[in-house]
Structure 1
Amino acid sequence: MWETRSIMQAAHAESESTVATSSRRTARALFVATAVVLYLVDLGTKSLVVEKLADRGRVDLVGDLLGFRLTRNPGAAFGTGTSYTVLLSCVALVAVGVVVWLSARVANRVWALALGLLLAGVLGNLTDRVFREPGPFEGHVVDFIQLPHWPIFNVADMCINVAALLILVQAFRGVRLNGTRDGK
């Protein structure tokens, strides 16, 4: 009787381990796919906008509601911190390292999506800071999406904001990176 119970417990533990490994692989794959695809979308849209809108004003897509207008942002969000571009670049480098470090622990798909979005966004804007004029770590971020009464932004900015929302949702739900819940 005891032998049967311990065999069943061992089989159950092995099954849980297999499920955890599968969840971790799925989450990591989602993290990598999200980060790579959205980083490439950000780079592609910025390249296209710089090429096509360099000498143009606003291009309306949906009347006054949505348009494209090329701007170059030397600062942080909403153009603040323009004299701290090098510091912002260094903070972004640290953020990339932290996100990659956290991704090694992720086993939850929502967390994986959030971290992938965050990495894509931070890398997208960091790439501008490193490789665009006026020089390394001082480059201006390409922004181009314009809504009424809102600062002009880019795909990387959208990724960062959606990531922040998902991270807040997971925190309020008490869901950890590994998928477990607080207090359980």
Structure 2
Amino acid sequence: MYATTLVVAVVWIVLDQATKIAAVRSLEGQVPNDLGPLVLRVIRNTGGAFSLPLRLPWVFVLVAIIVTVLVIRALPQTRSLGLATAYGLVVGGAIGNGADRIFRDGAVVDMLDLDFAPLQNFPVFNVADIGITVGAMLVAVLMVLEDRRLAREEPAVLEPLGHGGAAEPDAADVQSETDTPTDTPTDTPTDEAERPVQVPPGTDA
């Protein structure tokens, strides 16, 4: 689980930073590149994710650190590769935008602008934002599915015990009890049978 989360996070960080470097070199100061439903334009975002108007860059760095710590603490209890992958997306996106806050004067490079109804007014975003959003949605969905799976398994565990009561005896145990011999003897000789018969004197034996 640790390896899966780490690999996904590193891959997403590299992908995010590579697209930002390419966008700054080829698009900054240029006319937006219209690709139909998607327009490529560079915006230096000093606010929050998806260009939210929050001017607290170091708070976002702290949030990225907190998210990473929370994921590391959750990994020992993680048993799903899908959940580990989702954690990697969230961590990769948080670190990707956090790196911009540190190395780009507190501004995040956004370059993806949707231009189709009904999302034509959607804020400009980047690859890191995609990782955070998709990863968080996957975490929520997978946790709900895991809770439902555990809820289905719990009655199956309690059913053999009579829903939490004492277990009923097996047929083999009942049979073994009926085959056990009793302690009362059937042909025990009495004291009269063991006592010798005394013949009176003068009589024939």
TM-score (norm 2): 0.66
Distance in 1 (CA, whole Å) between partners of 2:130 and 2:99 is: 16
Contact 2:13–2:95 (CA under 8 A) maintained in structure 1: yes
Mean Cα deviation higher: 102-111 or 155-164: 102-111
What displacement does 1:57 show?
Answer: 2.5
Contact 2:110–2:125 (CA under 8 A) maintained in structure 1: yes
Q: Does 1:40 align with 2:7?
A: no
Structure 2 partner of 1:167 = 139
Structure 2 partner of 1:29 = 3
SS across alignment from 1:56: coil
Structure 1 partner of 2:98 = 126
**Computing the radius of gyration over CA atoms, which structure comes out larger, 1 or 2?**
2
Deviations along 1:46-92, one digit per CA (max 9) or x if unpaired, are: 1111111122121122x2x1121000111113333433222222122
Matched length: 148
Q: Does 1:143 align with 2:110?
A: yes
Which residues of 2 match residues 9-158 of structure 1 at below 5 A?
27-61=1-35, 63=36, 65-133=37-105, 139-148=106-115, 149=120, 150-158=122-130
Distance in 1 (CA, whole Å) between partners of 2:102 and 2:22 is: 19
Q: Percent identity, please.
A: 34
Contact 1:57–1:70 (CA under 8 A) maintained in structure 2: no
TM-score (norm 1): 0.73
* Coordinate RMSD, CA, aligned: 2.0
